[in-house]
């Protein structure tokens, strides 16, 4: 999902995030070194502005990520990084608000953190999606298999072939299978578009994933296929 560059707040956040990620570049990520090298960082706006950096969420540098779940089974590669990029179509600078993670069609998606499903939705860009709130953090999963349906008990995502039924408003445990990788919405191949927000501000998911690897060497035993 792309949003046109509109808000100064986003500019501030991205500049801060880029500067912060440069500071993270010396992290040692032994078990996933090859993977780490594939996490690119967009840097279109870093040099030419004089905006002050924003403080990244302090939680990123804390020790809590060892219990987080990698969100994709059968992970293949990061196909598009978070941040600003130039559109191959019209040359306009666009903001890519998440990290794209490719996996074979039908691979299971797991909840990154324990939380509550605040939204299940279908739209033209994000496709079938789930939004989960975990304290100050919001995580969004796009391009999923399945559809959103409604009953007298509320809205739910249904993916019968994957034996998935997720209700808007239900609690979710970290690592629980919540959906499968699909091709819904605007996408040219099967992948998860994964969005993280902290107190409403976008955060580069690669920063969090790097911390997860750093704190949990066994995070991805079989996902480097």
Q: How far is the CB of 148 from Zn ion (least distance, A)?
A: 20
- DSSP class of residue 123? E
Angle between helices 205-215 and 8-23 (to 10 degrees): 30
Residue numbers at the binding site for Zn ion (CB under 5 A): 100, 193
Of 119 and 155, which CB lies nearer to Zn ion in the complex structure? 119
Of 19 and 125, which CB lies nearer to Zn ion in the complex structure? 125
Of 193 and 210, which CB lies nearer to Zn ion in the complex structure? 193
In order of 54, 196, 200, 216, the CA distances from 57 in angstroms are 9, 12, 11, 20
Q: How far is the CB of 59 from Zn ion (least distance, A)?
A: 23
Q: How far is the CB of 191 from Zn ion (least distance, A)?
A: 7
Q: How far is the CB of 204 from Zn ion (least distance, A)?
A: 13
Of 82 and 156, which CB lies nearer to Zn ion in the complex structure? 82
CB burial string 61-91: b at 16+ within 10 A, e below: eeeebeebbbbbbebbebbbbbbbbeeeeee
Element (H, E) at 143: strand 137-144
Nearest-CB residue for Zn ion = 193
């Amino acid at each position: 999902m792309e949003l046109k560059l509109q808000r100064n707040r986003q500019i501030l956040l991205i500049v801060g995030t880029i500067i912060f990620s440069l500071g993270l570049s010396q992290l040692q990520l032994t078990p996933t070194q090859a993977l780490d090298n594939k996490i690119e960082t967009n840097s279109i706006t870093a040099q030419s502005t004089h905006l002050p950096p924003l403080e990244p969420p302090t939680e990123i540098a804390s020790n809590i990520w060892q219990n987080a779940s990698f969100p994709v089974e059968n992970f293949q590669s990061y196909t598009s990084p978070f941040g600003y990029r130039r559109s191959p179509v019209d040359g306009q600078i666009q903001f890519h608000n998440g990290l794209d993670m490719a996996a074979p069609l039908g691979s299971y998606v797991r909840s990154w953190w324990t939380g509550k499903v605040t939204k299940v939705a279908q739209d033209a860009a994000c496709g079938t999606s789930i939004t989960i709130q975990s304290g100050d953090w919001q995580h969004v999963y796009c391009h999923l298999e399945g559809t959103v349906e409604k009953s007298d008990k509320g809205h739910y995502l249904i993916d019968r072939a994957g034996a998935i039924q997720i209700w808007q408003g239900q609690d979710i445990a970290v690592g629980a299978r919540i959906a499968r990788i699909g091709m819904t919405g605007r996408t040219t191949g099967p992948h998860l578009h994964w969005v993280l927000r902290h107190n409403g501000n976008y955060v580069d998911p690669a920063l969090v994933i790097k911390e997860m690897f750093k704190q949990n060497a066994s995070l991805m035993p079989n996902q480097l296929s």
